[in-house]
DNA sequence: AGGGTACCCGTA
DNA sequence: AACATACGGGTGCCCT
């Protein structure tokens, strides 16, 4: 049991595990340490950090690692990040290593069949599109699509609408724009369908097939230093943006199957960011709603429309949902108008109404912004910190952007911490029970969700315990709720009670 | 041929 | 002028 100091220790841990060796108890990952100190570094490698902080070339010698460690230790202490580093991020390394080693089983044949199936539909759509266009062109080129739609077919925006431009001044052909043109020409609908299916095929069905390992499983890589908020990211493949909702994307997810004798069990924090916001702001109405288990979007709808809960229509609820999410991101009335389809004046009114109903949220946001302006950084309850130098910029846009980032950071990052705490605690519990890696294997983490592979005969017991650990992972002034789903494959997860 | 970037789009 | 946070990745296209 030696001490581990260095970069990319997750890989070293994986190597030890592959050889059946024990993982050192004391771990000091320098990349993660420097990331906690400043989430905005370009890279978290020795080659990058040593010249910048020690004014020395990096050579991976014991001496220079120790010197970097000394520097990091001091800063962690100065910024009060010790607990986060030693008690959360370092223990998390092993869980991430295990998730990556475990991987998730993928059925190559099913993927190949789905590939063909989508290919056929795409072929048909391609012909229809060429037919409507009157010529052959590259449907995957936004430039060529724009040329066909707006020059050749001379499609124009319907009354009251305007065509959106891209940052370089070209007319945009994104979904949002195309959706407004759906009734102007038959080709538009075909292109929308084509886009959706091509995306599914190229980014997911095709790419994932190439990433299946010899053990017939897909092993993602988690980046512990990949975000500015404390979230994890995932690459090769990114398991955190797998599509859901349409029939074909569900068919894609059905290609991932639990090991024989096991089932997938997923634990998903329900509305964790809004609960965090309620707790941080102390807003009485929102806290009350979560305590009573009221549908939060419905409550918001009833509040901003000044109608009783029973009178809330699905449309009102939808609008309120956009509003709730938007508030977490610091959305302004123009953006709200755009995403809701309301007029700017109406949007303004709704947002004003929202903040007069949830007064403490507004006050909390103002406090966060003031603090950010004072310190040029924001931090969350655990001390996780993000520098926001632009908050004092004289460029209005940059300052506003920094304000939105400031408002979002304490919420998104605490939600991220809560999930990380859960991962570590659940792993501890599973080790105590002797199930870790055997009867219960952690597979995926998707921001507010954990997916395990669990031996069928212990699902019931494990489910209750894990959900319990997660709901009590962090004390907020509102309860945390963790609904559980289970299924033999990833596309057919049914709620489990 | 390979790098950089624009645009697009999937998720929480 | 920009006007909703956080990501990774595929393809086109221009450049060297």
Whether the pLDDT of residue A342 is over 90: the answer is no
Considering the domain architecture, whether residues A380 and A346 belong to the same structural domain is answered as: yes
Q: What mean pLDDT comes out for the span A83-99?
A: 97
pTM for the complete prediction?
A: 0.95
Three-state DSSP class for A30?
helix
Using CA atoms of A295, A300, A301, A304 in order, give the dihedral in degrees to the nearest 10.
Answer: 160
CATH number at residue A331: 1.10.150.20
Whether the pLDDT of residue A285 is over 80: the answer is yes
Considering the domain architecture, whether residues A164 and A187 belong to the same structural domain is answered as: yes
Considering the domain architecture, whether residues A393 and A289 belong to the same structural domain is answered as: yes
Considering the domain architecture, whether residues A311 and A197 belong to the same structural domain is answered as: no
Which among A125, A112, A271 has a CA at the least distance from the CA of A186?
A: A125
From the Cβ of A448, is strand B under 7 Å away?
yes
pLDDT of residue A360: 96
pLDDT of residue A10: 96
pLDDT of residue A160: 74
Which among A204, A207, A200, A202 has a CA at the least distance from the CA of A246?
A: A200
Last residue in a domain, options A195, A211, A227: A211
Q: Which of residues 175-214 of A touch strand B (CB under 7 A)?
A: 175-176, 178, 195-196, 199-200, 203
**For A374-398, how does the pLDDT look when each residue is reduced to its tens digit (9 = 90+)?**
999 999 999 999 999 999 999 998 9
Can you give the distance from the CA of residue A448 to the C1' of nucleotide C6 in angstroms? 13
pLDDT of residue A2: 63
Q: What mean pLDDT comes out for the span A12-26?
A: 94
- How many domains does chain A fold into? 4
Considering the domain architecture, whether residues A128 and A205 belong to the same structural domain is answered as: yes
Q: Give the domain extent around A139.
A: 108-211
Whether the pLDDT of residue A327 is over 90: the answer is no
Q: What mean pLDDT comes out for the span A398-425?
A: 96
Cα A147 to Cα A152: distance, rounded to the nearest angstrom: 7
In a domain, A321, yes or no: yes
Considering the domain architecture, whether residues A302 and A387 belong to the same structural domain is answered as: yes
CATH number at residue A125: 1.20.1060.10
Can you give the distance from the CA of residue A468 to the C1' of nucleotide B6 in angstroms? 46
Considering the domain architecture, whether residues A177 and A56 belong to the same structural domain is answered as: no
Whether the pLDDT of residue A362 is over 70: the answer is yes
Which among A193, A162, A167 has a CA at the least distance from the CA of A177?
A: A162
> Up-side HSE of residue A485: CA atoms within 13 Å toward CB?
16
Last residue in a domain, options A52, A84, A102: A102
Q: What mean pLDDT comes out for the span A76-84?
A: 97
Cα A256 to Cα A239: distance, rounded to the nearest angstrom: 12
Confidence of residue A253 (pLDDT cuts 50, 70, 90): very high
Beta-ladder partners of A29: A6
In a domain, A231, yes or no: no
Can you give the distance from the CA of residue A199 to the C1' of nucleotide C12 in angstroms? 15
Considering the domain architecture, whether residues A124 and A198 belong to the same structural domain is answered as: yes
Considering the domain architecture, whether residues A114 and A163 belong to the same structural domain is answered as: yes
Q: Which of residues 245-304 of A touch strand B (CB under 7 A)?
A: 245, 249
Which among A363, A332, A330, A374 has a CA at the least distance from the CA of A350?
A: A332
In a domain, A236, yes or no: no
Confidence of residue A1 (pLDDT cuts 50, 70, 90): very low
**For A129-146, how does the pLDDT look when each residue is reduced to its tens digit (9 = 90+)?**
999 999 999 999 999 999
Which nucleotide lies nearest residue A221, CA to C1'?
C8
**For A143-192, how does the pLDDT look when each residue is reduced to its tens digit (9 = 90+)?**
999 999 999 999 998 887 788 888 888 899 999 899 999 999 999 999 99
Which among A456, A446, A452 has a CA at the least distance from the CA of A466?
A: A452
In a domain, A223, yes or no: no
What average pLDDT does the structure give for chain A? 94
Cα A396 to Cα A372: distance, rounded to the nearest angstrom: 16
Q: Which of residues 302-341 of A touch strand C (CB under 7 A)?
A: 322, 325-326, 329-332, 334-336, 338-339
Considering the domain architecture, whether residues A61 and A172 belong to the same structural domain is answered as: no
Tokens of A201: 């095929």
Considering the domain architecture, whether residues A52 and A97 belong to the same structural domain is answered as: yes
What is the DSSP track for A241-283? S---SSHHHHHHHTTBBPPTTEEEEEEE-TTHHHHHHHHHHT-
SS3 string, A114-143, reads HHHHHHHHHHHHHHHHHHHHCCCCCCCCHH
Q: Which residue has the tokens 């507004």?
A: A362
Last residue in a domain, options A362, A392, A411: A411
Tokens of A327: 């508030």
A185 Ramachandran zone, left/alpha/beta (phi>0; psi -120 to 50): beta
pLDDT of residue A281: 96
In a domain, A218, yes or no: no
Q: Which residues, other chains included, contact A27 with Cβ-Cβ below 8 Å and sequence gap of 6+?
A: A3, A4, A9, A13, A90, A93
Which nucleotide lies nearest residue A328, CA to C1'?
C5
Q: What mean pLDDT comes out for the span A96-117?
A: 96
CATH number at residue A35: 3.30.420.10
In a domain, A78, yes or no: yes
pLDDT of residue A338: 81
Whether the pLDDT of residue A16 is over 80: the answer is yes
Which among A174, A79, A121 has a CA at the least distance from the CA of A386?
A: A79
Which nucleotide lies nearest residue A231, CA to C1'?
C6
Considering the domain architecture, whether residues A124 and A75 belong to the same structural domain is answered as: no
**For A185-235, how does the pLDDT look when each residue is reduced to its tens digit (9 = 90+)?**
999 999 999 999 999 999 999 999 999 999 999 999 999 999 999 999 999
pLDDT of residue A378: 96
In a domain, A233, yes or no: no
In a domain, A72, yes or no: yes
């Amino acid at each position: 049991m030696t001490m581990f100091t260095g970069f990319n220790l997750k890989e070293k841990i994986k190597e030890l595990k592959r050889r059946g060796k024990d993982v050192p108890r004391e771990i000091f990952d320098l990349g993660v340490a420097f990331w906690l100190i400043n989430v905005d570094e370009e890279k978290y490698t020795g080659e990058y950090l040593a010249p910048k902080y020690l004014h020395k070339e990096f050579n991976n010698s014991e001496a220079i690692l120790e010197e970097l460690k000394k520097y990091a230790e001091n800063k962690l202490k100065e910024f009060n990040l010790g607990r986060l580093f030693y008690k959360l991020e370092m223990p998390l390394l092993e869980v991430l290593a295990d998730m990556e080693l475990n991987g998730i089983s993928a059925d190559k044949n099913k993927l190949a069949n789905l590939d063909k199936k989508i290919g056929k539909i795409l072929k048909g759509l391609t012909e229809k599109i060429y037919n409507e266009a009157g010529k052959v062109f590259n449907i995957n080129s936004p430039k060529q699509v724009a040329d066909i739609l707006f020059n050749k077919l001379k499609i124009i925006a319907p009354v009251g609408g305007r065509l959106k431009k891209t940052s370089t001044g070209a007319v945009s052909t994104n979904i949002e724009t195309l959706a407004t043109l759906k009734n102007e020409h038959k080709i538009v609908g075909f292109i929308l369908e084509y886009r959706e299916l091509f995306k599914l095929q190229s980014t997911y069905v095709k790419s994932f097939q190439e990433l299946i390992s010899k053990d017939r499983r897909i092993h993602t890589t988690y980046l512990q230093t990949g975000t500015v908020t404390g979230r994890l990211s995932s690459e090769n493949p990114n398991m955190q943006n797998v599509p859901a909702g349409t029939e074909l994307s569900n068919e894609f997810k059905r290609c991932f199957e639990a090991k024989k004798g096991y089932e997938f069990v997923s634990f998903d924090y329900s509305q964790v960011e809004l609960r965090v916001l309620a707790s941080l702001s102390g807003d009485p109405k929102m806290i009350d709603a979560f305590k009573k288990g009221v549908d939060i979007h419905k409550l918001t709808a009833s509040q901003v429309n000044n109608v009783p809960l029973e009178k809330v229509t699905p449309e009102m609820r939808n609008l309120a949902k956009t509003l709730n999410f938007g508030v977490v991101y610091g959305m302004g009335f123009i953006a709200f108008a755009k995403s809701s389809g309301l007029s700017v004046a109406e949007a303004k009114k709704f947002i004003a109404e929202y903040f007069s109903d949830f007064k403490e949220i507004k006050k909390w946001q103002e406090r966060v912004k003031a603090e950010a302006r004072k310190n040029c950084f924001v931090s969350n309850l655990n001390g996780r910190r993000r520098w926001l130098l632009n908050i004092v910029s004289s460029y209005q846009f940059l300052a506003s952007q920094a304000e939105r980032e400031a408002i979002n950071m304490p919420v998104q990052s605490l939600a991220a911490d809560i999930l990380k705490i859960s991962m570590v605690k659940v792993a501890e519990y599973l080790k105590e029970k002797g199930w870790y890696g055997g009867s219960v294997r952690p597979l995926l983490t998707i921001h507010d969700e954990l997916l395990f592979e669990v031996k069928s005969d212990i699902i019931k017991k494990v489910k209750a315990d894990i959900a319990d650990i997660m709901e009590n992972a962090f004390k907020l002034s509102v309860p945390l709720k963790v609904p559980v789903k289970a299924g033999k494959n990833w596309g057919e997860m049914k709620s489990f009670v």
